[in-house]
A and B are shown apart, each in its own frame.
Chain A
Amino acid sequence: MRSTWLLGATVAAVIGAGSATLAAHHSRTGFDPNDKPVELKGIVAEYRWRNPHVLFFWDVKDENGKVVRWVTEFGSVATTIGRGLTKDTFKPGEAVTVVGIRSQAGTPVLLLQRVIKADGTVIGGDAE
């Protein structure tokens, strides 16, 4: 499986070491990091390349066939560039699988662990 993620444990460790500081706006309130991650397949609706944090919206069909728009976030634009992403990393309409932790409130928000593109490319998130 390919990864755009400046690959590897070393880089991940470096990023992890600074994550508390980097995540000024990034609130994990409302998530239990011990919850089991879920995988949600869907279609990218919007990749909003803006501060304070890049937002990622994708549409997922629920068990009744109803389309629900989910949201998750990356870091600020500068931080996200530093992690190898660009404003063109995702396009609306592309298929993705998003892995993360559900909000305890049951709202369609994930604490992002990673996004897997259709070609298998893995894009890591702050909670990875």
Chain B
Amino acid sequence: MRTLLSTTLTALLALAAFAPIVMAQASKVTPPGWLPCPRCQSAQERAEARKKFNVDSRAFNPRDLSGIWGNNGIELNVVVPPFTPEGKKMYDATRAEETPDGVALSNSKDGMLICDPLGYPRLFAYNYGFQFVVLPDRVVQFFEWGHTWRDIWTDGRKLPENPPQPRWLGYAVGRWDGDTFIVESNGYDDRSWLQEDRRDRRWGFPHSDQLRVVERYRRTSFGTLEAELTIIDPVVFKKPWTTRGTIQLSPGTELWEYMCAPSESEQFNEQKIRRQVGVQ
């Protein structure tokens, strides 16, 4: 009897101790048979999934980039190359509006706030995870943020010398150099930013329609992708701007839908952002 009581008490104490964690686990919203989005995982769940799928030691083909990668993007290198005079003018023009008291009205020139497409490489620097799908003639890169994609053509075509229409996500071609997948792109619409300037969020980094981007991806394990991105825009920057980082596979996830809906964003801007600086 004493043993039973002791066991029951221990079980109850254990249950009480783990109750908050059980609540957190139970709070997951993923229906049976469906998977969480990369950003929906907690840090603990992310670590558990990587362990469950044995991503660090699992056999892999370095020339197969298939999978869902990351949940956040790789911020551009904080060492920003010097602007050209034209680039400096373009950068200054991104400065946020201010209230009469001199308080920045969030990052008011950021097209993201009105749901302009993020463009590329901003989607490299900021995303909610992306999926590479490898097809015979292209690698398709799907993004959760904006629920969009870009085609990286691998069928031997060349980049257009005179792109017929500027694109938010540019024109991209890819090729293999050993185990490194090289993506080159051009033809960008100059309305997007490369990234918000996170040193001071009143600005963003602009680019011109002469922007060219070179990316290099190397899968170094089943669960790890080394990435390097170089921005070449002689109209804006005096030197190329290279960012390197590592993107982790997000096993056990699937891309969800993050639509940037203008009506939702406008409500958010009006009811939160403008209100918090006293602009009603």
**Interface residue? B106 (CB, 8 A):** yes
In the bound complex, do residue B39 and residue A6 qualify as a contact, i.e. CB atoms below 8 Å apart? no
Chain B residue numbers with a CB within 8 Å of A2 are: 19-20, 23
Instruction: List CB contacts (< 8 Å) of A62-91 with chain B.
Output: 71, 73, 76-79, 81-87, 89
Chain A residue numbers with a CB within 8 Å of B72 are: 18, 21-22
Given contacts A30-B277, A71-B275, contact A24 B20 (CB under 8 A): no
Query: B264 contacts which of A22, A50, A104, A109 (Cβ < 8 Å)?
Result: A50
**Interface residue? B73 (CB, 8 A):** yes
Chain A residue numbers with a CB within 8 Å of B43 are: 11, 14-15
**Interface residue? A9 (CB, 8 A):** no
Instruction: List CB contacts (< 8 Å) of B11-26 with chain A.
Output: 19-21, 23-24
**Interface residue? B134 (CB, 8 A):** no
In the bound complex, do residue B277 and residue A7 qualify as a contact, i.e. CB atoms below 8 Å apart? no
In the bound complex, do residue B29 and residue A87 qualify as a contact, i.e. CB atoms below 8 Å apart? yes
In the bound complex, do residue A4 and residue B268 qualify as a contact, i.e. CB atoms below 8 Å apart? no
In the bound complex, do residue A81 and residue B128 qualify as a contact, i.e. CB atoms below 8 Å apart? no
Chain B residue numbers with a CB within 8 Å of A24 are: 112, 126, 196
Bound state CA distance, A5 and B126, in angstroms? 25
Bound state CA distance, A78 and B277, in angstroms? 26
In the bound complex, do residue B273 and residue A27 qualify as a contact, i.e. CB atoms below 8 Å apart? yes
Instruction: List CB contacts (< 8 Å) of B94-147 with chain A.
Output: 99, 101, 103-107, 112-113, 126, 128, 144
In the bound complex, do residue B39 and residue A76 qualify as a contact, i.e. CB atoms below 8 Å apart? yes
Bound state CA distance, A86 and B26, in angstroms? 10
Bound state CA distance, A59 and B277, in angstroms? 20
Chain B residue numbers with a CB within 8 Å of A78 are: 37, 39-40, 128, 144, 256, 258
Bound state CA distance, A53 and B101, in angstroms? 26
Chain A positions 39 through 75: 1 when the CB is less than 8 Å from some CB of chain B, otherwise 0: 0000000000011110100000000000000010100
In the bound complex, do residue A103 and residue B113 qualify as a contact, i.e. CB atoms below 8 Å apart? no
Bound state CA distance, A20 and B199, in angstroms? 11
Chain B residue numbers with a CB within 8 Å of A20 are: 198
Query: B41 contacts which of A3, A82, A104, A111 (Cβ < 8 Å)?
Result: A82
Chain B residue numbers with a CB within 8 Å of A118 are: none
Given contacts A4-B20, A7-B21, A25-B113, contact A52 B268 (CB under 8 A): yes
Question: What distance in Å separates the Cβ of B67 from its nearest Cβ neighbour in chain A?
Answer: 18
10 A-B residue contacts at CB 8 Å?
A7-B21, A25-B113, A30-B276, A52-B268, A84-B42, A85-B27, A89-B27, A103-B278, A109-B272, A109-B276
Which residues from chain A sit less than 8 Å from chain B, CB to CB? 2-7, 11, 14-15, 18, 20-22, 24-25, 27, 29-31, 50-53, 55, 71, 73, 76-79, 81-87, 89, 103-109, 111
Q: What are the nearest 9 A-B pairs in CB distance?
A: A105-B278, A78-B39, A30-B277, A27-B106, A109-B276, A81-B40, A84-B24, A14-B43, A30-B276
Since A21-B75, A81-B29 are in contact, a sample of 5 more A-B pairs with Cβ atoms closer than 8 Å, ordered by chain A residue number, is: A3-B20, A27-B106, A29-B106, A29-B276, A89-B27
